Structure 1
Amino acid sequence: MIRHNFLSNATAARQFIEGVNRLKDPEQFPWPGQPNLSLYDVFVFWHHQSMMLMTPPGQTDRNAAHSGPAFLPWHRYFLIALERFLQQAVDDADFRIPYWDWNADAQLTNPNTSSIWANENLGQFVGGNWRVRLAMNPVTGNLQVVNQQLQRNLGASGRLPTRTQVRTFIRNQVAYDQMPFNSSSASGTRNYLEGWIGAASTHNSVHVWVGGDMQLSSSPNDPVFFLHHCNVDRIWAAWQERHPASSYVPDMDAPDSLQFHRIDDALYNVFDETVTPRQMLDYKTHYEYDTLDDLIGL
């Protein structure tokens, strides 16, 4: 099944909006044992907890799902897990999460005017019935129960990466990652795509550009999180197609300090399912994208 561009496939866009609204409803999709919270809120909790689990303990850089090799396979699994619930919510086993092509919006004179932010699209989640119920306290860093509106601050800081910037590192970065396998790795497509190196600050800069709740560890509170990460995953898929001989690293000979990031380690999970980076490498076993040519067609 195909993951489509949100702005070029009205059916996928409508289903995504309907699906997240239903998953957000504790009456339709309750979080068992957590009053007034929903299965959607589980994903906020899961993402926050992954960022609090430092690997190894005692440092403040690499965690179970960020600033390390597992960043891409963990988020690929995160999307697939949500996708399964969305399929139930919209009663369509063929549904796949669409992506936000922020490279296209970067070409606009004012990216804030992109139709993705229109009231019939993602604009409806601000100031309406959508409520943030779990949020990171920016002072303490703890996750707390709240009842507040979703916050965005489009374009106040950060920037949207250009297609040329993305194409360049897809072409030039042959290795997946390199030691010390954290945000200081001087090369490797994972660190470029995550945004710790390179002028584009790719993934990170988009979070900052959207602003508000997207800048917190509880960033999945904003449904655009999933469209953004779907595009990040699409870029990884394009890199995989361009460099099919490049292997995931590290392997299982790496030290235990790299737990959660070695190829056959169990990815950090809140569901009763064991998934490893190796199992996430072949995206085509789960979906394909409507196009990768805009990223690798040079």
Structure 2
Amino acid sequence: MAQSCTAERTTIRKEWGEMAPAERINYTDAVLCLSRKPPRLPTAEYPGVRSRFDDFVATHINYTLHVHYSGLFLPWHRRFTWLWEKALREECHYTGYLPYWNWPLWTSDLHKSPLFDCSETSLSGDGEYNPGEQALSGGNVTIPRGSGGGCARCGPFKDFTTHLGPFSRDLSSLTEIPSPKFDYNPQCLNRSLNNFVTSHYNNATIVSRLMASTDIVDFQTVMDHWPPRPDGVLGPHGGGHFSLGATMQDLFASPQDPAFMLHHCMIDRLWAMWQSRDEMNRRHALNGTTTILNPPWGQQVTLDTKMEFGVLDGPRRVGEVMSPTEHGLCYTYT
């Protein structure tokens, strides 16, 4: 049985820029360590899984059709990011806790942020310029291309190799994991920093609007779509993904970008803050089904709904992750 989460035991997750340079290097060293450790998933069944890092990527791929644009998005990713933090600490000598990417601090110039400034204390920065990168269109919005489009050119993940994907962005009629599934496809970490995306979809105004949400339906709508569909294609969740390049834009395999966990840590931070502002009505508020895009036939999520994590963890009830200070979780945010 997990110990109770007392004030003395509660760990604190910090914003990346609040961390000392040595703490940041400790984090990226641990990520690289996971990428060198053998996987727990069998490579014979999962050819693209070549490391412990890839166990997390494959798990995300395996459950993507249940934990995105659904009632499981927030609770499943809360547990997923906590399992990542646990692996870094227990398997790779990381001494801190999962940091977050506070989007509004760096919306005007990602290149100058401590996360993506290409220094040894960053998460690596932009990619080499690729003239073939295209603008993206969806709904009534066209997103200009970013400033890179090729392999990350500097920082600790300059020579980082990803092994899975890429997957199509077409989500229509998806009932099973599409090709290439778990095929082995070594590639570099693709980066293309996009200040247009962050300035439009991850700014302080949108975060304030998110936090002003009156109920969980509104919170989810703002998180995934700002403005709400059909007037736009991105919310702050999609904004973080589409601001960094092709690796992070891949709905299925996006955990291959080391920024993924910090982006989702920020999402969890905002959800935790929103929940705590009205404990009675928000702590256990849920909305949606266990299937992507919440089809009419989808099963409604409840506190008793079981979430799966493959080799990372045993099944967990949604009710076990509705608070970051209960059922074995014990963390807060700066």
TM-score (normalizing by structure 1): 0.78
Asked if 2 retains the 8 angstrom alpha-carbon contact of 1:29 and 1:39, the reply is yes
For residue 210 of structure 2, the aligned residue among 169, 182, 185 is: 169
Asked if 1 retains the 8 angstrom alpha-carbon contact of 2:110 and 2:195, the reply is no
**Secondary structure of 1:2's aligned partner:** strand
1:133-175 CA deviation, whole Å, 9 max, x = no partner?
A: 112343864233111211011107633411222122212x121
Q: What corresponds to 2:17 in structure 1?
A: 7
1:191-210 CA deviation, whole Å, 9 max, x = no partner?
A: 22233654771111111111
Shift in CA distance, 103/256, structure 1 to aligned 2, threshold 3 Å: same
Asked if 2 retains the 8 angstrom alpha-carbon contact of 1:6 and 1:99, the reply is yes
Quick check: 1:97 aligned with 2:98?
yes
Asked if 2 retains the 8 angstrom alpha-carbon contact of 1:237 and 1:283, the reply is yes
Q: What corresponds to 2:239 in structure 1?
A: 205
Range with greater deviation from structure 2 (118-127 or 270-279): 118-127
Segments of structure 1 that go 5 or more residues without pairing to the other structure are 52-62, 178-187, 292-298
Give, as a single letter, the amino acid of the residue that structure 2 aligns with 1:138.
S
CA distance in 2, matches of 1:284, 1:9: 23
Range with greater deviation from structure 2 (118-127 or 39-48): 118-127
CA distance in 1, matches of 2:332, 2:23: 13
Asked if 2 retains the 8 angstrom alpha-carbon contact of 1:157 and 1:208, the reply is no
Where in structure 2 are the equivalents of 1:27-46 lying within 5 Å?
A: 28-34=37-43, 37-46=50-59
Q: What corresponds to 1:269 in structure 2?
A: 309
More helix by share: 1
1:197-224 CA deviation, whole Å, 9 max, x = no partner?
A: 5477111111111121111121000010
1:66-90 CA deviation, whole Å, 9 max, x = no partner?
A: 1112110010011011111111233
**Secondary structure of 2:184's aligned partner:** strand
Where in structure 2 are the equivalents of 1:201-280 lying within 5 Å?
A: 201-216=235-250, 217-246=252-281, 247-250=284-287, 257-259=297-299, 261-271=301-311, 272-280=313-321
CA distance in 1, matches of 2:110, 2:164: 29
Give, as a single letter, the amino acid of the residue that structure 2 aligns with 1:263.
L
Asked if 1 retains the 8 angstrom alpha-carbon contact of 2:242 and 2:248, the reply is yes
Per the TM alignment, residue 102 of structure 1 is displaced from its structure 2 partner at its CA by: 1.2
TM-score (normalizing by structure 2): 0.70
Asked if 2 retains the 8 angstrom alpha-carbon contact of 1:112 and 1:155, the reply is no
Segments of structure 2 that go 5 or more residues without pairing to the other structure are 1-10, 126-150, 170-177, 290-294
Asked if 1 retains the 8 angstrom alpha-carbon contact of 2:225 and 2:235, the reply is yes
Instruction: Give percent identity, aligned residues only.
Output: 24
Q: What corresponds to 1:113 in structure 2?
A: 112
Asked if 2 retains the 8 angstrom alpha-carbon contact of 1:194 and 1:202, the reply is yes
**Secondary structure of 1:86's aligned partner:** helix
CA distance in 2, matches of 1:65, 1:8: 30
Q: What corresponds to 2:223 in structure 1?
A: 193
Asked if 2 retains the 8 angstrom alpha-carbon contact of 1:6 and 1:12, the reply is no
Q: What corresponds to 1:64 in structure 2?
A: 66
Range with greater deviation from structure 2 (117-126 or 141-150): 117-126
Asked if 2 retains the 8 angstrom alpha-carbon contact of 1:134 and 1:146, the reply is yes
CA distance in 1, matches of 2:74, 2:241: 16
Give, as a single letter, the amino acid of the residue that structure 1 aligns with 2:93.
D
CA distance in 2, matches of 1:212, 1:149: 11
**Secondary structure of 1:281's aligned partner:** coil
Asked if 2 retains the 8 angstrom alpha-carbon contact of 1:250 and 1:263, the reply is no
Asked if 2 retains the 8 angstrom alpha-carbon contact of 1:251 and 1:264, the reply is no
